[in-house]
Structure 1
Amino acid sequence: MIQIFTDGAASGNPGPGGYGVILRAGNHYKEISEGFRLTTNNRMELLAVCIGLEAIKKLNQEIVIYSDSKYVIDSVEKKWVFAWLKKGFAGKKNKDLWMRFLQVYKLHQVKFVWVKGHAGHPENERCDELAVIASKSKDQKIDTVFEVENQKQKLL
């Protein structure tokens, strides 16, 4: 079984953001994080899950994802995302990331576990730390889809 711990952060929401991921399988352990100059917390929570799943190269793995994001977990566990897909994500945010998620989600046997954020869960605390550090880094990426959509909204 592979464990993936994830967290996302955004200061200002929208604002600078980042994600943190820990992958653990047996005695293998890997941390991944990245920062973005303008994004949202929900985007970073979802991107963290995508990045974690994309890091698994062998197909059909048993994976448990630990997240403090009710947005991500409820959307999958309550099957909302599958209804959104059928409706073309009409009126829903983060279509690009949900489509990315669905591509890797179907490759594995994935279970989600919700953990209370900022409650002392060691891996969740570390993922939060990675996400916050990434959100403040000088080497931030551009969340292109979000920034384009954000600009469109401002023009309307």
Structure 2
Amino acid sequence: MQTLYTDGSCLGNPGAGGWAVVAQFSDGTTAHWHGGAAHSTNNRMELMGAIRALELVQDISTPVTLFTDSRYVLDGINRWIKNWKQNQWRTASKQPVKNHDLWVRLDELNHSLVHWQWVRGHAGNAGNEACDAIAQAAAREYLQ
């Protein structure tokens, strides 16, 4: 596996949510996974997509690139999480970190072979567009 795309979607925010992972393998094949929740937020679904992607690559021995269109996820894992942990999971304004449970899990799964990369959403990137469509369909599955 060389490339992973992750995305989250929420109908209503909060509302029914879906997450997706699209994997592009070195042999040119692809696979996808998805899930969701009846009541969630867009940010929680974005985090769930990233968590599920990292669960897939826990035993890899070669680098993998994980693409996300979520600045929240990318900045959180690359910039904010170190300070959050040092501040007992509080933000710079001393507020509890939102989605703490998911950030802890993402941090546990993250490792040095994962290269995090931002991709502009809805800009024609085939992997991102496919992942977005799957996440939206997953969210619709959880509409009540």
Instruction: State the TM bucket, normalised to the shorter chain.
Output: 0.7 to 0.9
What is the CA deviation profile of residues 65-113 of structure 1, one whole-angstrom value per residue up to 9, with x for unaligned ones?
11100001111222x111111222131101111111111103x422111
**1:62–1:54 distance in 2 versus 1, CA, 3 Å:** same
Are the aligned partners of 1:2 and 1:25 in contact in 2 as well (CA < 8 Å)?
yes
Are the aligned partners of 2:6 and 2:128 in contact in 1 as well (CA < 8 Å)?
yes
Equivalents in 1 of 2:127, 2:48: separation in Å?
17
1:18-29 alignment runs, 5 A limit? 18-27=18-27, 28-29=29-30
In the other structure, the counterpart of 1:116 is: 120
TM-score by length of structure 1 reads 0.81
In the other structure, the counterpart of 1:129 is: 133
Equivalents in 2 of 1:59, 1:85: separation in Å?
26
Aligned residues: 138
Equivalents in 2 of 1:36, 1:105: separation in Å?
23
In the other structure, the counterpart of 1:11 is: 11
In the other structure, the counterpart of 2:82 is: 82
Gaps of 5+ in 2: 91-95
In the other structure, the counterpart of 1:49 is: 50
Deviation of residue 25 (structure 1)? 2.5
Aligned-pair identity in percent equals 35
**1:94–1:34 distance in 2 versus 1, CA, 3 Å:** same
TM-score by length of structure 2 reads 0.87
In the other structure, the counterpart of 2:97 is: 92
